[in-house]
Every structure is written in structure tokens, then in C-alpha cells.
């Protein structure tokens, strides 16, 4: 029994056929682009930008975004070719199954859990933080620290009392609401997502336009953090050093790229909706590459303005999750209304990110289940709505455990590793498929193969290495757990079992 048995393209195309028992094809090209933007613009832009600037790249975080975008562009071109050839749910998992075999497909599927499930958890944690900001701005009330933070977090208030987190209840609340929306239907979810995308992109543009007038040249000089930069004071009173290689100069820019790479997660989630697209062969490449291009431009402009308005060291000692609101309140007088508006837009924006992440993960689970690699419960469709409702409910519990009990930084870095690994293997898959089946009809062709896939592999691998440390160790342990499940269950229950 081969560990590298593959699903034939004929089998995949048959699976993509319309069926009364399958997922509904309801999404047009603009819905697909909106899904991509909905997933991309969220926590990465409003939270990770400040973290990368303050701790690693400084104003050169714009270069970090460009590096991350280039890596994503290489991978995005490969995703677009696969999505036009194999228009079914499953994303990178399905592509690997057709090119590299079952074991590699399982590894990618397991990595995608890190991307989508932990991505949803990370954004839910940030949603909780911004909800508190909104409640305080309008009602001068906040959820008690204990009920909106992880047990791994603590806070010393002005009176000297130490508060310890217990569970993040607001994060669980938004996860529950969006899970119910996804169970109701993909069309309804796409409409809600489209409205949210319009609102949050509008607010991002307003911040860029108004904030441009408050940029101070001194905040952009030097553009990269120098090795001899004085340490920055953190919220807990300790010093943050810029001496390590990955905390200044080009090393900091590269580490910053790995951190903000989280901001680009989402364009690949479009590919998980291939089985629900009306014209996937034409519309999937446009949805993937279109959403990536639009968001890259917004990211570069946004990060340039944010680091020009506030010194990068401020994002170490203050701001954190509320970095954008902090910058407005501190350095943009008379624009308090914009701070509140940004907070509302971010709260809505985070909601659309969570929505698409939960959708993507449930579709990957759905496909893995139909292949026999996961229990049948993950592919059971609702008799009326034709959505994988049981998978959505199980996913809510799984994601809720991370959102309720982990801090944002841990979940965010693990998410980036899962995504980068999937991107690397998708690039490898394009090279393999071109050599194995050069005459295959490709509605969209990745240009300059094998150069583009190889560059994608190099850039994404470099960002994985820059996350070296406990985060990479945690991801390695996650993969070991995945292999145990594969050899203990999936291998023997695969539909391709001889």
C-alpha cells in the first residue's frame, strides 16, 4: 500500500461535477474577490503591522510587506493554475493529492488546520480586544480582564493588583455567531462578507488619506532599525533589545515579513470555495490574484502612514492590539471620531476574516472526509442548507479552545508556519504536474515555470526559517501528532486503499 498513492484528475473532475448531494454553486467572480479581501484585511493589517514595525523592522515594515507579497504572488500564481484545473473544495490539500500523493496531501491538510483554524482563533482574540476598545469609547465599560484574556496572560493595574486571565468569552461569542451563519448557507455568508468588505476597505482608505497629513519625516529616518538602536520600554517595564540579528536591519525586515505574512493569509482560502463557484475555471484565478493585488497596495500604503504618524518604538511600549487607535488618539488631534470609526471597521473586518477562515477549514475537512482520511461526520451536509454543518460545529469547539485559552502572538505565528508550508508544497506541485502531464488543459498557466515556483519555495522557506525557535518546535510537534493520526486512522480508511 503506497503512501504516495494519488487521486487521478479524472476522479477529481468527476467529484467536481454538479450533484444534488454536493455543495451549492452560488459564487460569482466578485463574491470570490470579496472572500479573498474579507480574509486578507483584518488582524494582519491592524495588529501585526505594529508588532512587526515595533519589534523587528521599524518603518521598513513596508519592505517586509513587499517581501511577503512577493512570496505570496509566486504561490498565488501556482494556486491560480491549480484552481483552474481542479475546481473542487480542498485547496492545497486537493492539489497535493493529485500531484504528490496521499501522505503529502495529509501533511498539507494538517498544516491547513494551523492556517485556517488558528487563523480564525487569532483574529477572534483580536476581535475581543477591539470590542473592549469600542465598549470603553462609547459606554466607558470594558469586559473584566479575567473574562477576555487567556490564562497565560496577566496584568498589573495601577493599584498594584495582579489580574490573571481565565477565558476569552467575547472571542467565543463571535465564533459562535459566525458558525451559525455558515451553517445557514454560503450565499448568505457571501452577502454579509461583501457588506463588511465594503465598509472596512472604506475606513482603511479614510485613514490613509487623513493620516498622510500627519506623517513626520523623522519617524521614517533611519528607515531600517540600526543595530545600535537604544532599547524600547515595554508595557511591563522591561527593555526590548534591538541587538539580535532578527530585530534590526535586513534581518529585522525578513523577520518582519514572516510576522506580517499572516496579513496575507486569505487569498488561498478563495480556492477552498472552488466547488461553490459558478464558473471556477475562469473566476478562481481572478478571485485569488485580484484580492491579493488589491490588498498588497492597501497594506504598503497603510504601513507607510502608520509608521510615519507614530514612532516604531511606541508599538513596543503602547498600542499593541489597539495600535491604530492609539496612533490616532496620540498623534492625530481632533480625529477622535476617526479612532472610533476605525475601531468599528476593524471589529467588522475581523468578523469577515473569521468567517472566511472558518469556511475554508470546514471545506478542507469536507474534502478530506469524502476521501476517507477523516471521519464521515465532517462531510455530512445539512438536509436543507447543504452545508457541512457538523464540521462547522466541531470546528467551533476546536477553534474555541485556542481562542479562549491562548494569547494572540502564539496562535498567529503558528498560523504563519502552516500557511508557508502549504505554499511551498503547492509550488512543488506545479513543477511536478508540469513534468508529469505537460499536455493537460490549463485555463490559467503559471508563467515562467519552474522559475516562479522555485522562487516561491525559496522565499516562503526563508520566512519559515526566520520563525525558528519555540514556534517552529510547536509546529513540528503538531506535525508529529498529525502523522500519528494518519497512520493510526487515515491510511487504513482512505478511499484509495487497495
Which residue did the predictor score with more confidence, 407 or 340?
340
Residue 475 pLDDT grade (very low, low, confident, very high; cuts 50, 70, 90):
confident
Residue 3 maps to a domain: no
Neighbour-count burial of 271, counting CB atoms closer than 10 A to its CB (0-12 exposed, 13-18 middle, 19+ buried): buried
Q: What is the pLDDT of residue 15?
A: 64
- pLDDT band, very low/low/confident/very high, at 171 (cuts 50, 70, 90): very high
Confidence of residue 470 (pLDDT cuts 50, 70, 90): low
Output the pLDDT for position 322: 67
**pLDDT at 301 (0 to 100):** 95
Mean pLDDT of the chain: 84
Residues 92, 268 contacting (CB under 8 angstroms) = yes
> Quick one: pLDDT band at residue 409, thresholds 50, 70, 90?
low
**What is the domain range of residue 212?**
9-493
How far apart, in whole angstroms, are the C-alpha atoms of residue 338 and residue 281?
Answer: 41
pLDDT value, residue 22: 62
In a domain, 344, yes or no: yes
Dihedral over Cα of 445, 451, 454, 460: its sign:
negative
| pLDDT of 242 strictly over 60 | yes
- Asked which of 17-31, 113-127, 378-392, 449-463 is least confident by mean pLDDT, the reply is 17-31
Is 347 in contact with 137 (CB distance < 8 Å)? no
Give the pLDDT mean for 234-247.
80
**Does any domain span residue 90?**
yes
Whether residue 203 lies inside any domain: the answer is yes
Whether 340 is covered by a domain: the verdict is yes
Structural domain includes residue 2: no
Q: What is the mean pLDDT of residues 329-334?
A: 88
Confidence grade of residue 431 (pLDDT, cut at 50, 70, 90) = very high
When comparing pLDDT for 210 and 384, which is higher? 210
- Asked if the model's pLDDT at residue 498 lies above 60, the reply is no
Q: Is residue 182 part of a domain?
A: yes
Domain count across the chain: 1
Helix or strand run (H / E) with residue 154: strand 154-156
Task: State the pLDDT confidence band at 180, using cuts at 50, 70 and 90.
Answer: very high
Location of C-alpha cell 496562535: 411
Q: Does residue 4 belong to any structural domain of this protein? A: no
Q: Does residue 19 surpass a pLDDT of 60?
A: no
Residue 360: phi and psi, rounded to 5, are -60, -45
Q: 325 pLDDT band (50/70/90 cuts)?
A: confident
CATH number at residue 146: 1.20.1740.10
Q: What percent of the chain has pLDDT over 90?
A: 22
DSSP string, 425-481: HHHHHHHHHHHH-TTS--SS--SSTTHHHHHHHHHHHHHHHHTTTHHHHHHHHHHHH
Residue 149 contacts residue 124 (beta carbons within 8 Å): no
- pLDDT score recorded for residue 140: 85
Residue 300 reports pLDDT greater than 60 = yes
Amino acid at each position: 500500500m503506497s503512501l504516495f498513492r494519488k487521486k487521478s484528475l479524472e476522479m477529481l473532475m468527476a467529484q467536481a461535477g454538479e450533484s444534488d448531494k454536493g455543495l451549492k454553486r452560488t459564487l460569482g467572480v466578485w463574491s470570490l474577490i470579496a472572500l479573498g479581501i474579507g480574509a486578507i484585511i483584518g488582524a494582519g493589517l491592524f495588529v501585526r503591522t505594529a508588532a512587526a514595525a515595533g519589534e523587528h523592522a521599524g518603518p521598513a515594515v513596508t519592505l517586509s510587506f513587499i517581501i511577503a507579497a512577493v512570496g505570496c504572488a509566486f504561490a498565488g500564481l501556482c494556486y491560480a493554475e491549480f484552481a483552474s484545473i481542479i475546481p473542487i473544495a480542498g485547496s492545497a490539500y486537493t492539489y497535493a493529492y493529485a500531484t504528490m500523493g496521499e501522505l503529502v496531501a495529509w501533511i498539507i491538510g494538517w498544516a491547513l488546520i494551523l492556517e485556517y483554524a488558528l487563523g480564525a482563533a487569532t483574529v477572534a482574540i483580536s476581535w475581543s480586544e477591539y470590542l473592549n476598545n469600542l465598549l470603553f469609547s462609547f459606554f466607558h465599560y470594558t469586559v473584566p480582564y479575567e473574562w477576555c484574556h487567556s490564562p497565560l496572560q496577566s496584568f498589573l493595574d495601577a493599584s498594584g493588583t495582579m489580574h490573571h486571565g481565565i477565558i476569552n468569552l467575547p472571542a467565543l461569542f463571535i465564533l459562535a455567531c459566525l458558525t451559525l451563519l455558515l451553517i445557514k448557507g454560503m450565499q448568505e455568508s457571501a452577502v454579509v462578507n461583501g457588506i463588511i468588505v465594503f465598509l472596512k476597505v472604506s475606513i482603511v482608505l479614510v485613514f490613509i488619506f487623513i493620516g498622510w497629513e500627519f506623517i513626520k519625516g523623522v519617524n521614517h529616518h533611519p528607515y531600517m532599525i540600526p543595530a545600535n538602536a537604544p532599547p524600547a520600554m515595554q508595557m511591563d517595564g522591561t527593555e526590548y533589545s534591538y541587538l539580535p540579528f532578527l530585530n534590526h536591519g535586513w534581518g529585522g525586515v525578513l523577520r518582519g515579513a514572516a510576522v506580517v505574512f499572516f496579513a496575507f493569509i486569505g487569498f488561498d482560502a478563495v480556492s477552498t470555495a472552488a466547488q461553490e463557484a459558478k464558473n471556477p475555471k475562469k473566476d478562481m484565478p481572478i478571485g485569488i490574484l485580484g484580492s491579493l493585488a488589491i490588498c498588497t497596495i492597501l497594506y504598503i500604503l497603510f504601513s507607510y502612514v502608520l509608521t510615519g504618524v507614530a514612532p516604531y518604538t511606541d508599538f513596543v511600549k503602547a498600542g499593541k492590539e489597539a495600535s491604530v487607535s492609539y496612533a490616532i488618539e496620540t498623534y492625530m488631534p481632533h480625529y477622535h471620531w476617526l479612532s472610533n470609526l476605525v475601531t468599528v471597521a476593524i471589529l467588522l473586518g475581523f468578523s469577515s476574516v473569521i468567517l472566511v477562515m472558518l469556511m475554508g477549514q470546514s471545506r478542507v475537512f469536507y474534502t478530506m472526509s469524502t476521501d476517507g482520511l477523516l471521519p464521515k461526520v465532517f462531510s455530512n451536509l445539512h438536509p436543507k442548507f447543504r452545508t457541512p454543518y457538523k464540521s462547522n460545529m466541531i470546528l467551533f469547539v476546536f477553534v474555541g479552545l485556542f481562542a479562549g485559552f491562548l494569547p494572540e502572538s502564539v496562535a498567529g505565528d503558528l498560523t504563519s508556519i502552516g500557511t508557508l508550508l502549504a505554499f511551498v508544497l503547492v509550488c512543488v506541485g506545479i513543477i511536478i504536474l508540469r513534468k508529469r502531464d505537460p499536455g493537460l488543459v490549463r485555463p490559467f498557466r503559471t508563467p515562467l515555470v519552474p522559475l516562479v515556483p522555485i522562487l516561491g519555495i525559496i522565499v516562503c522557506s526563508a520566512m519559515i526559517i526566520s520563525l525558528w525557535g519555540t514556534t517552529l518546535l510547536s509546529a513540528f510537534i503538531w506535525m508529529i501528532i498529525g502523522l500519528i493520526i494518519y497512520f493510526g486512522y487515515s491510511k487504513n480508511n482512505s478511499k484509495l486503499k487497495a
